[in-house]
Chains A and B, each alone.
Chain A
Amino acid sequence: MENLKTNAEITWCPGCGNFGIFTALRNAIPKLESKGINRKDIVITAGIGCHAKIFDYLNLSGLYGLHGRNSSNAEGIKIANPNLKVITFSGDGNGLGEGLAHTLFAAKRNQDITMILHNNSVYALTTGQYSPLTEKGWKGPSTPGGSFETPFNAISLMLEVGATFVARSFAGDISHLTEIFVQAIEHKGFSFVEVLQPAVPYHSWSEYREKVEFLEKEPETYEEAVKIAKNRHKYILGVFYKNERPVYHKGLYGDHNPLTNRLSQSDRIKKIKSFLFG
């Protein structure tokens, strides 16, 4: 697990929920390796925000992209070389604000990638503004009178647009989080994990610990999953939904791999000639 850490200086606040995600991810990788997933094939992308600092700390290859565009980067990686296992990290502002369209479309397409949504319900790195998941009444520097927008419900949103694995976990429960990560990364199709994690300058651990509870059992149908996601509180942990449907790259080009099966220069020239001259 130690060799999954780079030498980069860690600049999360002491006690930040991101440490839990970092630890659980490093736990999950060896478990995935024991299930036959090759570490060399794992590639990560991240947006911009506190969540994304994990890119510098994890000793894995990848692309540290722009704010909100990490899932597009991940899609592009998977489309070019479907042999790779792609994990994309996002914050709630990053993935459901600036990058909302990309998050929804990646799920709609059932891209075979994993999105880990670090939900701290605040724009932490930019000093505490309200986010797409912030509850009403939040007094941040951009909403001094209290925010008055209704937040998104990340789980029901992802169920609606077509994610085929949808789960919620908690940065304070490393073993549950590790287990969920393993399942999500193993899943074939778009897997979405919302991780509740306090950004300690804005929320305390106790706020979360009081409220979190586990699903009694995994919902058996899509409708049941939606019902629970919509009607119960947002601190319910567990796998809400798991299903299989065709993944995007198979629809695009079947069993082809554009990178490993690329045509040689001479084959291309031959085909261009026959295209132009019949």
Chain B
Amino acid sequence: MVHDVFTFLVGGKAGEGVKKAGSVAAHIFSSMGRYIFQMDDYMSLIRGGHNFSVVSTSPRWITSQYMKADLVVNFDKRSCDTHINDIANGGIIIFNSDEQESVDGIGVPLSSEAEKYPMKKLMYGVGAVAILSSTIGLSKDQMNQNIKNQYPRGIEDNIKFADTIYDMVKFSCQNKYPLERGEKERPIITGNDAISLGAIAGGLDAYYGYPMTPASSILHFLAKQAKNFGLAVVHAESELAVINMAIGSAFTGARSMVGTSGGGFALMTEGISLAGITETPILCVLSMRPGPATGVPTYTEQADLNFALSAGHGDFLRIVASPGTVEEAYYLTAELLDLVWKFQTPGILLTEKHLSESSMTINLNINDTKWAEPKMHNGGSYKRYKDTEDGISPMLFPPSKEIIKWNSYEHDEIGITTENADMIVKMHNKRDKKLRKLIEHLKTQDTVNIIRGGHPTNIFTYGSTYMSVLEALKHGDSNPTIVQPIYLSPLPIWELKEFKNQDNVVIEQSITGQFASLLSEKAGLNIRSVIKRYDGRPFDPIELSIKIKEELE
């Protein structure tokens, strides 16, 4: 075990309940009052291939999976071959002895045992839970209770099967890693769950999406919760329809959000630009996966930062922010929904597969969220694009006796098309004023997370890589200051000034170092070096801690 962390890794083919076994493990740990971090690594296919789920747990807050596991359970030979070197010192590897020659580990005849039941391969996950239960010292009763709660289908068979497997590994595994209990049970949610719940808390009324990993689970979550929260949730024919429908909904006053990944976002950019000139409050979740083009659909990267910062043709205000943790995703989504309504402009919540689809135990202050409220027109004749001191025109929604015209052409204050030179300048200036007001507003709130350390070098990171960095710094004693800008546009340079003439190292998941370039161009920071990873996988905390140590020595 690495210090206070226990890691369970389960691998097999898609369709064998790998991810479910990971989730059940996570629930077992959290029911013991412990914190968890679960990462699912899966291929872009429905059946077969190789998937694995890795769950790390600790009595303290934990922000990353560990790739060296204390208990590895493999359902097939491919998994075993893949993970044979992913065992921590003193760890246990279990292989399916029906599927392969013996290796240096513990063979369990998973296939032949599962064959005895009608659900066959679907039971492998239950077997993995049985092995885990034995290893961490749960009694059969405790195990059976968990299985009953988590696998509602075929309870009797599942318990019988689990008992058999539990007994089979008793000799080699029983109570090998007894886990300390934590203080209380906490809910487990994914980043996409947090984004969805944050949006609801902030006032979401309508969500539009088109299936695209890793954003799809927002669409699924909200579709499932639509009735409960009174939302309109629509799977439209394309991302073009998605963004334009959402803009239509915003016209009525409905707080609207869309979600996608890079390729879908490319289609949405015309709508982002439309939102710019029509001054439509719209929030877009952009969850990054490795690109370009189709790239690697089910893996992670941070290479769409530049694209998000300049999305949509023309000059207009774009708000871009990226949450560092699952909890921050909850608050930030509500906050961005509020900001886009306050400033009537598009906002982008930039995240990655690693945050979207990983699960964490959370400590949330549910009430502590912003509520999206626009500046409203109060009586008198109405002009949609009234020029005001801060550039923000009061809003009004149909039905109204007043005429409300939103226009994609350059327009006058009423919203009628114009080609008049003075009016073009006036409207550009009006929209431009909103940036100053926004910066003034952002100066009153948290826009950067800074954890002060004692080392002369600072580490800059953003998005889910922040979680990897936090966990890496649990190892070693270099103790640098960590700086994580939440807002990327406008970049809070007022908070970053103090780091200007200091020694800075950036950690990000992009081959060209887009975040490092942003920091040096916009904030004038000297970046000595960039620790990059761009193989689609998130950093492993131990590997990253070694790299950080090398940079800081």
Contact = CB atoms under 8 A, between A and B. Distances in A.
B314 interface: no
Interface residues of A, number: 54
Interface in B395-427: 398-409, 414-417
Given A258-B205, A258-B231, A72 B252 contact: no
A23 interface: no
Given A8-B417, A40-B399, A84-B399, A276 B366 contact: yes
B200 interface: yes
B228 A74 contact: no
A83 B397 CA distance: 13
Contacts of A80: 205-206, 232, 248-250, 252-254, 256
Nearest to B203: A265
Contacts of B225: 275
A252 B398 contact: no
A63 B187 CA distance: 42
A60 B278 CA distance: 17
B230 interface: yes
B271 interface: yes
Given A79-B232, A258-B205, A66 B254 contact: no
Interface stretch (B2-10, B46-54, B235-243, B498-506): B235-243
Contacts of B246: 76
A84 to B, nearest CB: 6
B285 interface: no
Interface in B364-388: 364, 366-367, 369, 371
A65 B247 contact: yes
B366 A40 contact: no
B248 A74 contact: yes
Contact of B244 (A60, A69, A84, A259): A69
B230 A256 contact: yes
B530 interface: no
Contact of A76 (B208, B229, B364): B208
B236 A60 contact: no
A175 interface: no
B270 interface: yes
B417 A81 contact: no
B229 A61 contact: no
B245 A258 contact: no
Contact of A102 (B226, B240, B398): B240
A35 interface: no
A273 B366 contact: yes
A262 interface: yes
Interface in A137-161: none
A223 B146 CA distance: 59
Sorting the interface of chain B by its residue count into under 10, 10 to 19, 20 to 34 or 35 or more gives 35 or more
A249 B234 CA distance: 10
Contacts of A276: 187, 189, 197, 364, 366
Nearest to B401: A40
Interface string A7-47: 11000000000000000000000000000001011010100
A186 interface: no
B252 A84 contact: yes
Name, among B240, B254, B399, the residue most crowded by chain A CB atoms within 10 Å (CB to CB): B399
B227 interface: yes
A63 B245 CA distance: 11
A181 B227 CA distance: 35
B417 A76 contact: no
Contacts of A252: 232, 234
Nearest to A38: B399
Contacts of A72: 236, 240-241, 244-245, 248
A75 to B, nearest CB: 5
A249 B417 CA distance: 32
B248 A268 contact: no
Given A40-B400, A59-B403, A79 B249 contact: yes
B227 A265 contact: no
B364 A73 contact: no
Contacts of A263: 229-230
Interface string A73-98: 11111111101100000000000000
Contacts of A45: 248
Given A41-B398, A62-B406, A253 B241 contact: no
A61 B208 contact: no
Contacts of A66: 244, 270-271, 274, 408
Contacts of A40: 398-401
B201 interface: yes
B341 interface: no
B416 A76 contact: no
Given A73-B248, A259-B253, A102 B417 contact: no
A272 B407 CA distance: 37
A244 to B, nearest CB: 22
Interface in A234-270: 249, 252-253, 256, 258-259, 261-263, 265, 268-269
A138 to B, nearest CB: 27
Contacts of B189: 276
Interface string A198-228: 0000000000000000000000000000000
Given A66-B274, A269-B366, A79 B245 contact: yes
B238 A101 contact: yes
A69 B403 CA distance: 22
A105 to B, nearest CB: 4
A64 B403 CA distance: 13
30 contacts: A6-B403, A38-B399, A40-B398, A40-B400, A40-B401, A43-B251, A43-B398, A45-B248, A61-B400, A63-B247, A63-B406, A64-B406, A64-B408, A65-B248, A69-B241, A72-B245, A73-B247, A75-B241, A76-B206, A77-B248, A79-B206, A80-B205, A80-B250, A102-B240, A258-B206, A261-B230, A265-B201, A268-B203, A275-B228, A276-B187
Interface of A: 6-8, 38, 40-41, 43, 45, 48, 53, 55-56, 59-66, 69, 72-81, 83-84, 101-102, 105, 249, 252-253, 256, 258-259, 261-263, 265, 268-269, 271-273, 275-277
Nearest first, the 3 closest Cβ-Cβ pairs linking A and B are A76-B248, A76-B245, A72-B244
Given A63-B278, A253-B232, 9 more contacts: A7-B416, A40-B401, A60-B403, A72-B244, A76-B206, A76-B248, A80-B232, A80-B250, A81-B252
